[in-house]
């Protein structure tokens, strides 16, 4: 679904156990990230369900077995992804307001996102100008997108992600929550390395139509 909106997503494969994880690592041809897919776990890294830079079959197997011990019956699978290039960690997401409808959120991502709560929100539909303004509205944005920052962050690429997420929220009211976290933003683009989506029946009384009636 995310790729249908041309969002930059780092592809991964969910496997059942350590043997399958090792086999997928062998086909990847380079270091991988291994992530636990477990019931009740919203933020994998904060729950101890992420291992990065695994460069050998033994390392992948050990990480997989650690996840089995940690999560037990809640573990539904193991997500194997190629390692992404380092970058600034951002969050781009969608929340739903009972009165106003979908809101796009942009802010600081990674494991600190719920601690810092450094985010800004806008209603959809969203223009390019709206997305550009959002980049300077959260506290970390001014430094992250400073033209002299080293390493640089690709501002137009992040802005494009915001606009496309807003379009998704506008066209798919069933998506009541969406988190792209982290979105790794570097000098030559950005990519979402993890995503969470919650769907629910859309409201029968559209807030936008209700506002027009008022």
Q: What is the pTM of this model?
A: 0.84
Q: How confident is the model at residue 151 (pLDDT cuts 50, 70, 90)?
A: confident
Residue tagged 């992530």 (tokens): 35
Task: Give the range among 87-91, 182-186, 202-206 with minimum mean pLDDT.
Answer: 202-206
Q: How many CB atoms lie within 10 A of CB 193?
A: 24
User: Above 50 in pLDDT, residue 214?
Assistant: no
Secondary structure element (H or E) that encloses residue 103, with its range: strand 101-108
- 115, 110, 159: which is closest to 133 by C-alpha? 159
| 188 cis-preceded (ω within 30 degrees of 0) | no
pLDDT score of 201: 85
CA distance 214 to 198: 30
Instruction: For strands 13-15 and 75-82, give the pairing.
Output: antiparallel
Please tell me what DSSP assigns to residue 201. P
Q: Is the backbone of residue 141 left (phi > 0), alpha (psi -120 to 50) or beta?
A: alpha
Q: Is the backbone of residue 132 left (phi > 0), alpha (psi -120 to 50) or beta?
A: alpha
| Mean predicted confidence (pLDDT) in 176-194 | 94
CA distance 125 to 34: 36
Instruction: For strands 50-54 and 88-97, give the pairing.
Output: unpaired
Residue tagged 């390395």 (tokens): 193
Please tell me what DSSP assigns to residue 39. T
User: Above 90 in pLDDT, residue 210?
Assistant: no
| Mean predicted confidence (pLDDT) in 190-196 | 93
CA distance 131 to 143: 17
């Amino acid at each position: 679904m995310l790729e249908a909106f041309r969002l930059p997503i780092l592809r991964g494969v969910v496997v059942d156990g350590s043997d399958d994880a090792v086999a997928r690592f062998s086909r990847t041809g380079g270091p991988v990230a291994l992530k636990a897919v477990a019931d009740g776990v919203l933020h994998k890294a904060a729950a101890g369900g992420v291992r990065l830079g695994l460069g050998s079959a033994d390392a992948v197997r050990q990480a997989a077995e650690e996840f089995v011990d940690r999560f037990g019956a809640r573990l539904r699978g193991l997500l194997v992804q190629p390692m992404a290039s380092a970058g600034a960690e951002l969050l781009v997401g969608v929340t739903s307001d009972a009165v106003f409808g979908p809101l796009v959120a942009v802010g600081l991502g990674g494991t600190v996102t719920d601690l810092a709560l450094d985010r800004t929100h806008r209603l959809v539909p969203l223009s390019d100008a709206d997305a550009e303004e959002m980049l300077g509205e959260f506290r970390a944005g001014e430094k992250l997108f400073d033209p002299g920052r080293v390493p640089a962050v690709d501002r137009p690429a992040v802005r494009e992600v915001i606009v496309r997420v807003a379009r998704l929220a506008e066209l798919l009211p069933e998506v009541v929550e969406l988190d792209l976290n982290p979105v790794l933003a570097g000098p030559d683009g950005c990519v979402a390395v993890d995503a969470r989506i919650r769907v629910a029946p859309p409201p029968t009384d559209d807030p936008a139509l209700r506002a027009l009636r008022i």
